[in-house]
């Protein structure tokens, strides 16, 4: 796939020589992982190293080190989070360049070793230095890096790089994997932490393309409902997941969802998912307060006492678990070991968008389905982040080429930003126009939350809604009208005028202070010399501080 550029004329004027470039070694179009070399002026920063095989990267870096004056291939490496597609190449990279500094958040630095569980621990040195969150660090003269929590996984961060010359500052943000919503074990990326940075380049993941997801709670309920149905049919449930992130989210969901709390049921955790749980327990103080609070009353994961029981599975237990049960195991495990144990029929649930290759012969022992419990932002979340940051350039990585193409062909993005979706090995030049005017963000869709309590429905909307000047006029009567439009529910503020025109028994003229009920209004004109509207034609829903109620006009009926 070639580098897509939608060049707009506003870049033609005032363009300077490129201070910024990005050379991707891996863009994770499939499973190859992310690894990006960013140049800002004289500085070279490697972002993530998720390549399974780093030999080409090491060769290229050695060549470029020979050309430059420094013996190191880059100034330093910044790691967004501990997932293998961002981190699995780091150990080999460290072995090739032992002096190359590697940095990540504190939590990530502690989770990284889970990428090399198959290696003897003495061969996995701790090579990663921990950086504080939200604290700009000057790594080189004029080059500052700051990490900001990105949601998605404990320790995951977005990385903000600022390069300052005599003329100006250049800012680049790499999102890593990000998620705007709160999950059970990690809080979402907070847009307000990023507002106001004048960003030039945004490197953003596009895992879910333009697809839109249901609210997180809906996703959780659908999954819990499916598992509940299987258990009711005395069918065991097998959940293959990655070692970190999704597995622990599933455990928290199963332990706290009303379908399962108090239920006499075993949840077994096997393989590196169990190791992942142990790692989380070590990091309890970094998890959200709600989780820490939960852990004060009962163990976060291993719990034989409180139902459903969460138990670590030993290999010898695999053949004789009691049916029905739930098992969480590695997505790379040999699932036959579970299916073939003669404990009855299985429901095997894979996270959506995994390539499932299952031999036909297993259809006798298991049903295979997928579910959505998203760990990344969906399309609207992705565009929302872009419009909040309004950079000149947007580079999409981390997603199937088709999904990334869906994003780069969005008109709302094309006519505002320079869009790139480079293949690995394609240099992306990032000329920064001096005369660039930050484009206006388009209309935003706000996400709220809905609570139903008995007969009362409460809709909670984010503060950003009231920051809009239109809010002052929205429903200044304190009343709204709701009506269905297809599947959508449209909320509209009711103005005083509408109330006046409504022949409803609920509202009478006397309810409202306005020209229509003012004693100084006659013939749609104001006759009160004390009013700024004196002598003017007024609208009946109008109002001024000199308002005085017309008592006679509205005898109580
Ligand atoms: Zn990830
Ligand atoms: Zn990833």
Question: Could you please report the per-residue DSSP string of 487-532?
Answer: TEEEEEEPPHHHHHH---SS--GGG--SGGGBTTEETTEE--TTST
Q: Which ligand is nearest to the CA of 150?
A: 1
Burial per residue of 36-49, b for 16 or more beta-carbon CB atoms within 10 angstroms, e otherwise? bbbbbeebbbbbbb
Distance 460 CA to ligand 2 centre (A): 31
Distance 398 CA to ligand 2 centre (A): 7
Q: Which ligand is nearest to the CA of 86?
A: 2
Backbone angles phi, psi at 518, to 5 degrees: -95, 140
Backbone angles phi, psi at 163, to 5 degrees: -115, 125
* pLDDT score recorded for residue 524: 83
Distance 158 CA to ligand 2 centre (A): 12
Distance 59 CA to ligand 1 centre (A): 26
Dist CA 35 CA 531 (whole Å): 68
Distance 418 CA to ligand 2 centre (A): 23
Give kind and range of the element (H or E) at residue 219. helix 216-232
Dist CA 255 CA 270 (whole Å): 17
Distance 81 CA to ligand 1 centre (A): 7
Backbone angles phi, psi at 306, to 5 degrees: -85, 135
Q: Which ligand is nearest to the CA of 374?
A: 1
Backbone angles phi, psi at 363, to 5 degrees: -65, -20
Distance 471 CA to ligand 1 centre (A): 38
Distance 183 CA to ligand 2 centre (A): 16
Q: Which ligand is nearest to the CA of 243?
A: 1
What's the chain's Rg over C-alpha atoms? 29
Distance 381 CA to ligand 2 centre (A): 16
Q: Which ligand is nearest to the CA of 242?
A: 1
* pLDDT score recorded for residue 530: 86
Contacts of residue 246, defined as CB under 8 A and 6 or more positions apart, other chains included, come to 351, 373, 375
Distance 344 CA to ligand 2 centre (A): 35
**pLDDT, tens digit (0-9, with 9 covering 90-100), for 494-527:** 777 777 766 554 545 566 788 888 889 888 888 9
**pLDDT, tens digit (0-9, with 9 covering 90-100), for 145-190:** 999 999 999 999 999 999 999 999 999 999 999 999 999 999 999 9
Distance 174 CA to ligand 1 centre (A): 13
Distance 226 CA to ligand 2 centre (A): 27
Whether residue 308 is preceded by a cis peptide bond, meaning omega within 30 degrees of 0, is yes
Give the HSE-up count for residue 363: Cα atoms under 13 Å, Cβ half-sphere. Answer: 4
Distance 53 CA to ligand 2 centre (A): 16
* pLDDT score recorded for residue 67: 72
Q: Which two tokens stand for residue 324?
A: 């029905």
Backbone angles phi, psi at 513, to 5 degrees: -85, 110
Q: Which ligand is nearest to the CA of 152?
A: 1
**Which residue ranges of the chain lie beneath pLDDT 50?**
1-16, 505, 507, 553-557
Distance 83 CA to ligand 1 centre (A): 5
Distance 177 CA to ligand 1 centre (A): 5
Give kind and range of the element (H or E) at residue 25. strand 20-27
**What is the DSSP secondary-structure string of 156-172?**
-EEEEEEEE-SS-EEEE
Distance 172 CA to ligand 2 centre (A): 19
Residue ranges near ligand 2 (ion) with Cβ within 5 Å: 85, 177
* pLDDT score recorded for residue 1: 39
* pLDDT score recorded for residue 189: 96
* pLDDT score recorded for residue 441: 66
Distance 205 CA to ligand 2 centre (A): 8
The full length of the chain comes to 557
Dist CA 335 CA 353 (whole Å): 18
Distance 242 CA to ligand 1 centre (A): 10
Q: Which ligand is nearest to the CA of 398?
A: 2
Whether residue 324 is preceded by a cis peptide bond, meaning omega within 30 degrees of 0, is yes
Backbone angles phi, psi at 338, to 5 degrees: -85, -45
Distance 418 CA to ligand 1 centre (A): 26
Distance 447 CA to ligand 2 centre (A): 24
- Other C-beta atoms within 10 Å of 396: how many? 27
Distance 85 CA to ligand 1 centre (A): 7
Nearest Cα residue to 189 out of 198, 199, 180, 201: 180
pTM (two decimals): 0.77
Distance 441 CA to ligand 1 centre (A): 28
Contacts of residue 470, defined as CB under 8 A and 6 or more positions apart, other chains included, come to none
Q: Which ligand is nearest to the CA of 205?
A: 2
Distance 321 CA to ligand 2 centre (A): 33
Residue 265 three-state SS: coil
């Amino acid at each position: 796939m070639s580098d897509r550029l939608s060049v707009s004329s506003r870049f033609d004027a005032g363009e300077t020589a490129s201070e910024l470039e990005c050379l991707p070694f891996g863009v994770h179009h499939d499973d190859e992982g992310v690894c990006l070399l960013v140049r800002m002026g004289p500085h070279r920063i490697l972002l993530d190293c998720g390549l399974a095989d780093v030999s080409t990267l090491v060769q290229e870096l050695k060549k470029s080190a020979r050309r430059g004056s420094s013996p190191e291939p880059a100034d330093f490496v910044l790691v967004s989070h501990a997932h293998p597609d961002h981190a699995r190449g780091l150990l080999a990279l460290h072995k090739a360049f032992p002096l190359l500094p590697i940095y990540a958040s504190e939590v990530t630095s502690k989770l990284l070793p889970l990428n090399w569980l198959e290696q003897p621990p003495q061969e996995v040195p701790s090579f990663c230095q921990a950086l504080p969150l939200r604290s700009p660090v000057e790594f080189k003269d004029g080059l500052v890096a700051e990490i900001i929590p990105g949601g998605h996984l404990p320790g995951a961060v977005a990385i903000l790089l600022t390069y300052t010359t005599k003329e100006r500052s250049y800012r680049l943000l790499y999102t890593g994997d990000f998620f705007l919503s709160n999950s059970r074990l990690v809080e979402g990326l907070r847009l307000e932490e990023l507002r106001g940075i004048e960003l030039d380049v945004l490197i953003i993941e596009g895992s879910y393309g333009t697809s839109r997801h249901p609210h997180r709670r809906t996703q959780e309920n659908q999954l819990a409902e499916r598992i509940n149905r299987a258990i009711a049919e005395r069918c065991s449930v097998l959940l293959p997941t990655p070692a970190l992130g999704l597995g622990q989210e599933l455990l928290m969901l199963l332990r706290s969802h009303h379908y399962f709390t108090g239920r006499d049921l075993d949840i077994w955790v096997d393989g590196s998912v169990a190791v992942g749980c142990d790692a989380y327990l070590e990091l309890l103080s970094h998890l959200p307060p709600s989780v820490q609070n939960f852990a004060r009353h009962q163990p976060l994961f291993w719990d034989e006492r409180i139902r459903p029981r969460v138990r670590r599975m030993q290999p010898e237990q695999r053949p004789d678990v009691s049916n029905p049960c739930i098992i969480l195991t590695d997505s790379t495990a040999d699932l036959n070991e579970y299916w073939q144990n003669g404990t009855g029929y299985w429901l095997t649930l894979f996270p959506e968008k995994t390539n499932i290759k299952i031999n036909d012969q297993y259809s006798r022992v298991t049903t295979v389905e997928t579910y959505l419990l998203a760990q990344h932002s969906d399309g609207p979340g992705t565009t929302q982040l872009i419009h909040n940051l309004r950079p000149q350039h947007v580079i999409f990585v981390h997603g199937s080429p088709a999904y990334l193409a869906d994003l780069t062909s969005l008109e709302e993005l094309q006519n505002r930003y320079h869009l790139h979706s480079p293949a690995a090995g394609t240099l992306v030049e990032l000329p920064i126009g001096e005369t660039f005017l930050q484009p206006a963000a388009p209309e935003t869709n706000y996400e709220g939350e809905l609570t139903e309590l008995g007969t009362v429905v409460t809709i909670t909307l984010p503060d950003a809604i009231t920051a809009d000047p239109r809010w002052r006029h929205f429903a200044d009567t304190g009343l709204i009208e709701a009506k269905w439009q297809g599947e959508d529910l449209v909320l509209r503020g009711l103005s005083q005028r509408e109330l006046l025109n409504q022949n409803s028994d609920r509202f009478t003229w006397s309810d409202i202070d306005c020209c229509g009920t003012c004693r100084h209004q006659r013939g749609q004109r104001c006759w009160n010399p004390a009013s700024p509207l004196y002598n003017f034609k007024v609208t009946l829903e109008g109002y001024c501080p000199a308002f005085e109620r017309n008592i006679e006009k509205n005898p109580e009926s």
